[in-house]
Chain A
Amino acid sequence: MADFDIELDASGLNCPLPVLKARKELNGMKTGQKLRLIATDTGADKDIAAFAKMTSNPLLDFYIDGEKRYFLIEKGAN
């Protein structure tokens, strides 16, 4: 996974907390900065993609390693 500016570990948290935590973190970030989100919620695979798409914060990378899933999200304009 490429470089990131901020890492957020939402492991152990269930729906909708990974999305809500990501939202909160992204609110404090600057356009172009990258957030690496780690989660164990299997529902987050699709949820984070939907969140990224609907809020125009591109999901640059996603992979699963064991129980952990890693999302690289770029903070979009505004």
Chain B
Amino acid sequence: MAKKFAIIASKGTLDGGYPPFILASTAAALGYEVKIFFTFYGLQLLRKDLNPKVSPLGNPAMPMPIPVPSIIQVIPGLEWFATWMMKRKLKQKGVASIEELREICIDSGVELIACQMTVDLFDFKQTDFIDGITSGGAATFLEFSSEADTTLYI
């Protein structure tokens, strides 16, 4: 029987979106049955108009070409700039885009589950999300994770 991998994806930023999609696509390539449960801000990763961003604000660990004090980081456009720089860097280094990894996950049979409670909470509509996803709640996740070989909260 195939190994099972259960993931909770709770972050919707560019850097927060990579780990669940990288691990899920790779696990699927290794023959795992994989389910990702998207909750809270992680739901952004299921959007049709996927456009995750990264911000240095509140993240003192983010490498910057020059030091940018927090008070400057609130200036409009800096988040856009940081995202643009990160995306350029990812491309230069031959890292797949989030969209590409999500596509591979879907093609390789990873089940993408939207947490119904948070879908309601944020007034998301089914049409906001890509096709082929399912929805479920805490018990749905726990049923699968109770049999999983690996479970991660990201």
Contact = CB atoms under 8 A, between A and B. Distances in A.
Interface stretch (A1-9, A11-19, A28-36, A66-74): A11-19
A26 to B, nearest CB: 9
Could you say which interface size class chain B belongs to? Answer: 10 to 19
Interface stretch (B21-29, B35-43, B45-53, B134-142): B21-29
A51 B29 contact: yes
Contacts of A13: 94, 96
Contacts of A41: 94
B31 A20 contact: no
Specify the main secondary structure of chain B where it touches its partner.
loop
Contacts of B104: 20
B94 A19 contact: no
A12 to B, nearest CB: 5
Nearest to B28: A23
A15 B31 CA distance: 17
Contact of B96 (A17, A22, A51, A55): A17
B29 A14 contact: no
Interface in A21-60: 22-23, 41, 51, 54-55
A19 B31 contact: no
Nearest to A41: B94
B93 A19 contact: no
Contacts of B30: 19, 51, 54-55
A54 B18 CA distance: 23
A78 B22 CA distance: 24
B130 interface: no
Contacts of B94: 12-14, 17, 41
Which 3 A-B residue pairs are closest in the complex by CB-CB distance?
Answer: A23-B29, A14-B94, A16-B26
Given A15-B95, A19-B26, A20-B25, 18 more contacts: A13-B94, A13-B96, A14-B95, A14-B96, A15-B22, A16-B22, A16-B25, A16-B26, A16-B29, A17-B96, A19-B29, A20-B26, A20-B29, A41-B94, A51-B29, A54-B30, A55-B30, A55-B31
